[in-house]
Amino acid sequence: MSRIRVVVLPGDGVGVEVTRAMQHVLEAVARRYSHELDLEEYAVGWNAYDSSGTPLPDETLEACLKGPAVFLGAVGDPRADRLEPGVRPESALLRLRSELQCFANLRPAKVDKELVRMSALKPEIAGGCDLVIVRELTGGIYYGTPRGREGSRAVNTLVYDEAEITRVAEVAFQLAGNRRRHVTSIDKANVLEVSQLWRSVVEDVGARYPDITLEHMLVDRAAMELVTAPSRFDVVLTSNLFGDILSDEASAMCGSLGLLASASVGGEVGLYEPVHGSAPDIAGRGIANPIGAIRSGALMLSHSFDLHIEAEAIEKAVQQTLANGLRTADLAGREDNPVSTEEFAHAVAEAVV
């Protein structure tokens, strides 16, 4: 028996609903495989700010730092638009990533055969999509200094050093070793000195993995290839800004943001969350797609607890539920009768074997 200790941060909007769905599936896995499940819930985001004046209370951060895993539903609320950037819900996520030293964001993008018709791409193109984007998460233009705005001028600074690039590249090559042994490193080396450094360091890391093929690709070409030939990609390694953009592009191939999971790793504590936001326009209606959250739970079992069989059981249960014809509203066609968030989660839990 293993002890699965998770700090749960439901957050805002549909984050609360999809987190509940993920927990239900996790409970089914714990029963099926005889694990002890320890879930501790804390406030984050707008809900935390509304009650305590900060989007990331000290008690929440302290619990997260104890690890080994943190699950986050989503953060964000329109009422926070009037707040200063430093206290908006999204600032809690940025600080969490920094405090937990999560420097690598993993975003799998695979088109389920049951949902290929939902892709923005032609079925014969979308059907071959099975990739993971490894995005550097704590450096680059989002964090570089100087930064700021003065009158009619604004500045953001793109900065990376060798150590930052090396550690995220190591994650990508190690991941590729368990997949199809191919890394595509995305940069803008024809223009940016930072990208030239990125390319050089990635080549040095790649030399330590002679059984893995390394390919370099400019970001503009990569954006095109993702929608014309996604099957050519296995592990995609890139910087913070490029990864942010390309991972959202990849979501269109899969058919819905609600399908995609993510893991932020690198430190001793892993942070797991669905890719989608808090979606306040549909919050409380029970129609949110919980698949991204459920799959984030599977990533959590695999990466933070080495429970790979249990993680695979969740993936198979999701696929079985889809094969049985169940769809949430975002995936439902005219011939489908959509089920609620809770109903879908219950079906997945029952399919765990």
Ordered by start, the domain boundaries in the chain are: 1-105+258-353, 120-254
Q: Which CATH superfamily is domain 1-105+258-353 in?
A: Isopropylmalate Dehydrogenase (3.40.718.10)
Q: Encode the chain (353 residues) as per-residue pLDDT tens digits.
A: 789 999 999 999 999 999 999 999 999 999 999 999 999 999 999 999 999 999 999 999 999 999 999 999 999 999 999 998 889 999 999 899 989 999 999 999 999 989 998 888 999 999 889 999 999 999 999 889 999 999 999 999 999 999 999 999 999 999 999 999 999 999 999 999 999 999 999 999 999 999 999 999 999 999 999 999 999 999 999 999 999 999 888 888 888 889 999 999 999 999 999 999 999 999 999 999 999 999 999 999 999 999 999 999 999 999 999 999 999 999 987 667 899 999 999 999 999 99
First to last CA, the chain: 17
36 contacts 3 by C-beta, under 8 angstroms: yes
As a whole number of angstroms, the distance between CA 209 and CA 116 comes to 34
For 120-254, the fitting CATH number among 3.30.565.10, 1.10.3470.10, 3.40.50.720, 3.40.718.10 is 3.40.718.10
Tokens 């990569």 -> residue: 222
**Beta strands at 261-265 and 235-238: parallel, antiparallel or unpaired:** unpaired
β strands within the chain, DSSP E? 3-11, 36-41, 69-74, 104-110, 130-136, 148-150, 153-155, 182-187, 213-218, 235-238, 261-265, 270-274
- Same fold for the pair 1-105+258-353 and 120-254: yes
Task: Give me the sign of the Cα torsion angle 12, 17, 22, 24.
Answer: positive
Nearest one of 136, 127, 203, 214 to 177, comparing CA atoms: 214
- The reported pTM is 0.92
Residues tagged active-site: 142, 188, 220, 244, 248
